[in-house]
Chain A
Amino acid sequence: MLPQALDKEPQVGDLTRRSALLDALYAAQKRYGYLDEEALRHVAEQLSLPLKDIYSTASFYSLYRTKPTGQYLIQVCEGLVCSLRGGAERLVDYLREKLGIEVGETTPDGKFTLETVQCLAACDSSPAMRINDELYENLTLKEVDAIIEMLAGG
């Protein structure tokens, strides 16, 4: 059941059900971990919408995961400003080496997934990265190291 997604939006007829879709996809992602066909079918049933509509929306947005993701999703900003201030590429290279994975991959223990993302609106405190919902700013390699060690131990 995805009740919170369904209750949130106002009732303005048929359009309403589809307008709950972004929230419903978040809820399904939370429950299933990522959006595979089973998850998408579940959302389609819950909202009484055709599966093609669900897929159409889910495939558009970058925050919906279509593959299993590690416990910690590391997203390093590779936008222009983070790159200008000489951090983004170094950060990514450091993490690739430290975690032993390429961008887009997950560590074998399922702990970390490494990704690069576009601007996180933290240009005044670059370089920046996100781990799950937490934003880390003004990063040095030493800090990155400490953060990863802490999460790896936890």
Chain B
Amino acid sequence: MLEKVLLKNVGVRYVERIGVYIAHGGYQAVRKALLELEPQEVIEMVKKSGLRGRGGAGFPTGLKWDFMPKDPNLTKYLCINFDEGETGTFKDRYLVEEDPHQVLEGAIIAAYAVGASKAYIYTRGEFPLGLKRWIKAVAEAYGRGFLGENILGTDFSLDVYVHSGAGAYICGEETALMNSLEGKRGEPRIKPPFPTQVGLFGQPTIINNVETLACVPHIILRGPEWFASIGTEESTGPKLFSVSGHVEKPGNYELPMGTPLREIIYGHAGGIKDGRKLKAILPGGVSTPMLTPEHLDVPMAFETLPKVGSMLGTGAVIVMDESTCIVNAVLHMARFFAHESCSKCVPCRVGTHVMTKILQRIENGEGREGDVDQLLDLCNSIRGKTFCPMGDATTNPLASSIQYFREEYEYHIREKRCMV
């Protein structure tokens, strides 16, 4: 079993204080990066480690960093994406509340690697404790000389600003996040141009997820080969799996990338609650297509889940047992998406409301013949027709649930009641 890496300090009393964090080996990675490595060497290390973004998209982190223009005269920014809002996902909140300096240390190294002089921490508006942790951690890091002018006597300087969002799931999407930081509505921008070319305030910008940044100090200290030796070929390193729903022990489990669902659910999360039978799984939050018990042996990795029609997403495993009404569960997800659609694109704005309406009527026992096909048509009208990936996301649980549980929908419509 994997030793704890990202969670190694969990349980260390007061590790959110910089003195305790340093006493446990903290900020050694910043020292090594700034004093012994050139920025490009840091980028090469992260590339070699195989680290991929933990916010859901899984883009190779080192490659993203390398896309940043190298011109030292350009003002560049780093954004730390702490807008964790995907239902089922609670890993970033945990990382920041438990061990904020680990993430900040990763952010300082990232800023050094890409030449960013300012970093913005975008904190979800509903995370007051996370916000407190950040404010204190940043102040402490200034006090110890890990932030500010000429860090550790080098010519690298970095200022960090802690920013609070105001309640909008879509701001976790990187271009919406930048608009929000600029004080605008959190609506996504079209890509290209990509943020590494035209980002925050029109300047080259890197946006990294909290868990992604938490991996960075470990890559610097223990080497990219060590990191790449964990996990699978295309998904390396440790990963936090937030497990929730009908399991005995919900929680965050740090395991190697590629750990099969069966091991996560039965080996770590204590199996299905009250000994009931497993019915369905969302492997990476409500944006990812549903899976069924036949998929339990699929490794949880970026390259393996698409082979069974799903995706890793944030690695948030939502477990549903035999007592779950699929129509009701999907209705909850549709409501979430309808509430969180930023309304910029018509297919998503209107589609999520129509989706909710049809599901609600099926749930109420007022479903009509043809409703299931209409739902599938609706998915096709949304998919691929929106600015940002949220459009597709809204259709994922719906379409996959019809694929696996069409009979349950039909039963609901025919019998005007639930099968379970």
Chain A residues engaging chain B, CB cutoff 8 angstroms: 8-10, 12, 15, 17-23, 25-26, 56-57, 60-64, 78-81, 83-85, 117-126, 130, 133, 135
Binding-face segment, B177-185, B304-312, B350-358: B177-185
**Contact indicator A119/B86 (Cβ below 8 Å):** yes
Instruction: Confirm or deny: B168 has a beta carbon within 8 angstroms of a beta carbon on chain A.
Output: yes
Complex Cα gap A117–B332 (Å): 12
Q: Enumerate 14 A-B pairs (CB-CB under 8 Å) in ascending A order.
A: A18-B184, A26-B164, A62-B166, A79-B87, A81-B87, A81-B318, A118-B339, A118-B340, A119-B336, A122-B90, A123-B244, A123-B245, A124-B244, A124-B252
Chain B residues engaging chain A, CB cutoff 8 angstroms: 75, 84-90, 92-93, 118, 124-129, 159, 161, 163-169, 180-187, 201, 242-246, 250-252, 286, 316, 318, 320, 324, 328-329, 332-333, 335-336, 339-340, 342
CB distance from B91 to the nearest CB of A (A): 9
In the bound complex, residues from chain B placing their C-beta under 8 Å from that of A84 are 245-246, 318, 320, 324, 329
Complex Cα gap A93–B88 (Å): 23
**Contact indicator B182/A19 (Cβ below 8 Å):** yes
Complex Cα gap A130–B124 (Å): 14
Quick one: given A15-B201, A84-B329, A123-B250, are A61 and B182 in contact (CB under 8 Å)? no
In the bound complex, residues from chain A placing their C-beta under 8 Å from that of B85 are 118-119, 121
Complex Cα gap A95–B324 (Å): 24
**Contact indicator A10/B159 (Cβ below 8 Å):** yes
Quick one: given A63-B125, A123-B250, A124-B251, are A19 and B90 in contact (CB under 8 Å)? no
**Contact indicator A121/B184 (Cβ below 8 Å):** no
In the bound complex, residues from chain B placing their C-beta under 8 Å from that of A120 are 126
**Contact indicator A126/B244 (Cβ below 8 Å):** yes
**Contact indicator A124/B286 (Cβ below 8 Å):** no
Complex Cα gap A76–B265 (Å): 27
In the bound complex, residues from chain A placing their C-beta under 8 Å from that of B333 are 80
Chain A minimum-CB-distance residue to B87: A119
Complex Cα gap A24–B85 (Å): 23
Contact of A57 among B159, B183, B246, B340 (CB under 8 A): B183
Chain B minimum-CB-distance residue to A81: B244
**Contact indicator A81/B182 (Cβ below 8 Å):** no
**Contact indicator B332/A83 (Cβ below 8 Å):** yes
CB distance from B112 to the nearest CB of A (A): 19
CB distance from B168 to the nearest CB of A (A): 5
CB distance from B52 to the nearest CB of A (A): 22
Complex Cα gap A23–B120 (Å): 14
